[in-house]
Amino acid sequence: MNTDNKNKTLSISSLLNNDHCSFSALFKKASTIQEIDRKLKLLLDPSLKDKFELANINPDNAVLLVRSSAWATRLRYNIPAILDALNYQLNFASIKTVRIKINKSIPDKPVLIKKPIYLSNNSAQFLNDVANNFNDPELRKCILNISKNRLK
């Protein structure tokens, strides 16, 4: 019977947390970058948060990925704020440059498709009755238009 340690089965989490495993350092670096990315996005203009990803960070530079040249330009205008956030608020005191690269494979923020909301027949009839009691013709017309949005 072979009792060799080479054939021992380990869980993924034990491999990733094992300092002697080659995947461990990569996993820790990726986790660190992901956490810095999350914190950086909280410190910058909210309109930028879904437009970039922190790809790498080294002692003297940070690399950001964006989906388009338009967002690359907008981020370039924000490099002073990015450097300030990294160096002073996130304690990376030696970062001097921010490189911005375009990577079209970064997914856009999902677009929410709004489903129409329909009134029940009772609600539509109620609005119809209310609209008929208004003297203002424009207000009556608006409420009647809303009441037309009923279930069919």
Instruction: Select from 107, 108, 109, 98 the least CA-distant residue to 64.
Output: 98
pLDDT digit string, tens, across residues 31-64: 899 999 999 999 998 888 888 999 999 989 999 9
Helix (H, G, I), strand (E, B) or coil at 90: coil
pTM equals: 0.59
Instruction: Select from 125, 131, 135, 151 the least CA-distant residue to 143.
Output: 131
Query: What confidence tier does 131 reach under pLDDT thresholds 50, 70, 90?
Result: confident
pLDDT-above-90 percentage for the chain: 35
Residue 118's pLDDT is what? 81
pLDDT digit string, tens, across residues 88-114: 999 888 899 999 999 877 655 565 667
